[in-house]
Structure 1
Amino acid sequence: MKKAIFGGTFDPIHVGHLHIAYEALYNLNLDKVIFMPSGNPPHKMDRVVTAAKLRYKMVEAAIQKEPLFELSDYEINNSSVSYTYKTMEQFHYLEPETDWYFLVGVDSLMDLKKWKNVHIILQHCKLAVFSRPGYANEDIIEMKKFIEETYKQEIIYLEMPILDISSTVIKKKMTLNRQVDYLLPCGVQEIINNYHIYK
């Protein structure tokens, strides 16, 4: 089996996230993509993040019609800080025969040397990096080479069409009472409205 974990705050999940998941699914020939809403991400401790259970509900609604997508509550049920190396240790322990991948944006690749216990992450999975706006291709290739040489592990670069959508922009549009339905997967807007999120 080949499975990828797609972590993120998903605050809210949007069509750009689904685009990335499908591109990874097809390009890596995956059996499953597991969406992993973050619990207490160390790099976002200074930001206000929507309650984990509501972010979980939004992801659940967004992926409910795709049988190759799954949802995990592992990190949101963990009260400690959500470190990727701990997540990958746990999933590798539960399914040691699975070929694990971890999906991250190129911004994470650029900051990877600041992550905790990178060597443990790369022991338990292959890192698959997707494009994001604002990064020069030569800078990405240079950092990819640096990480590979430093940790002796291959980094997969998924070159895919970029959908320039962000959760931050969506929330800003909502504060201006602008329409965002076209940026959100089916069912997500209804949850936002029902629970008065982002008001």
Structure 2
Amino acid sequence: MGKIGIYGSSFDPITNVHLWTASTVAHRCKLDKVIFLPCSNKRPDKSMNVSDEHRWNMILLAIAGNDKFVPDDYEMKQAGWEIATYLTLQHFKNKFPDDEIYFIMGADLLLDIGAGRWKKSEELIRENKFIVMARDGINMLSAISKSPILRNADDGHTFHLIDKGLAMEISSTYIREEFRLGGEPRYLVPDNCYSYIKNHQLYK
């Protein structure tokens, strides 16, 4: 039985922090594979800044050469109104029935799920496992204890909390702004992605 982490994000663009996070999580949690799952541009709560083709190409460039990193465009292909993390995890559990599946997320998303803001929040927590990364100002243990949805599922196996050394806050938003304003975010994205962005004049 292997261990697989599902790492969903807009990846608009994918950054060195995304790669460092995935590598660190894989190392600490003994994951055999991290699946990079770019979200759909059809989601009503998301607004992408470049096409799916560009986001996908940059992911392929960024993770090339790392056998543990695997791209998957499952959510990109889904209709926006049908997308829910609960259904996505069902898909991957069916795809990899002999492996343990973990959803990788930040503590800010843990708060949203605990407040019932996600589709099928209770079923999502009850039926899945999560790797939760620290975010500045969020006490993860307190968040779990204060939410009935979270604490009722806290059996010692549902949540793997990573509370030390994994709270870098350099965002894709910041990098896009740097490109837009003529800044120099070269070392915040992989070199080949930086060249791709420049060559295609993205985020202007």
TM-score higher than 0.5 here?
A: yes
Query: 1:173–1:179: 8 Å Cα contact kept in structure 2?
Result: yes
Cross-structure match for 1:75: 75
Of residues 147, 153, 159, the one that matches 2:163 is 159
Question: Take 2:100 and 2:48, find their aligned partners in 1: how far apart are those partners?
Answer: 34
Please state if 1:195 is matched with 2:200.
yes
Question: Take 1:152 and 1:183, find their aligned partners in 2: how far apart are those partners?
Answer: 36
- Percentage of matched positions with identical amino acids: 29
Once the two structures are superposed, the pairs formed by residues 1-199 of structure 1 within 5 Å of their partners are 1-40=2-41, 42=43, 44-45=45-46, 47-81=47-81, 82-112=83-113, 113-133=116-136, 135-137=137-139, 140-145=140-145, 146=147, 147-152=149-154, 154-161=158-165, 162-199=167-204
Query: 1:9–1:37: 8 Å Cα contact kept in structure 2?
Result: yes
Question: Take 1:98 and 1:65, find their aligned partners in 2: how far apart are those partners?
Answer: 23
Q: Deviations over 1:87-124 (max 9, x none)?
A: 11111112122100000011101111211112333355
Q: Which runs of 5+ in 2 are unaligned?
A: none
Give the 3 Å change call, closer, same or farther, for CA 144–197 of structure 1 in structure 2: same
Shift of 1:152: 4.8
Paired amino acid for 2:161 = Y
Query: 1:89–1:124: 8 Å Cα contact kept in structure 2?
Result: no
Task: Decide which moves more: 153-162 or 26-35.
Answer: 153-162
Q: Deviations over 1:160-188 (max 9, x none)?
A: 32222101111111122111111001311
Question: Take 2:50 and 2:58, find their aligned partners in 1: how far apart are those partners?
Answer: 11
Query: 2:12–2:48: 8 Å Cα contact kept in structure 1?
Result: no
Q: What is the RMSD of the two structures over their aligned residues, measured on CA atoms?
A: 1.9
Question: Take 1:192 and 1:7, find their aligned partners in 2: how far apart are those partners?
Answer: 21
Question: Take 2:132 and 2:93, find their aligned partners in 1: how far apart are those partners?
Answer: 20
Q: Normalization by structure 2: what TM-score?
A: 0.87
Q: Normalization by structure 1: what TM-score?
A: 0.89
- Equivalenced residues, count: 195
Q: 3-state SS of the aligned residue for 1:144?
A: helix
Question: Take 1:3 and 1:167, find their aligned partners in 2: how far apart are those partners?
Answer: 24
Q: 3-state SS of the aligned residue for 2:101?
A: strand
Paired amino acid for 1:75 = E
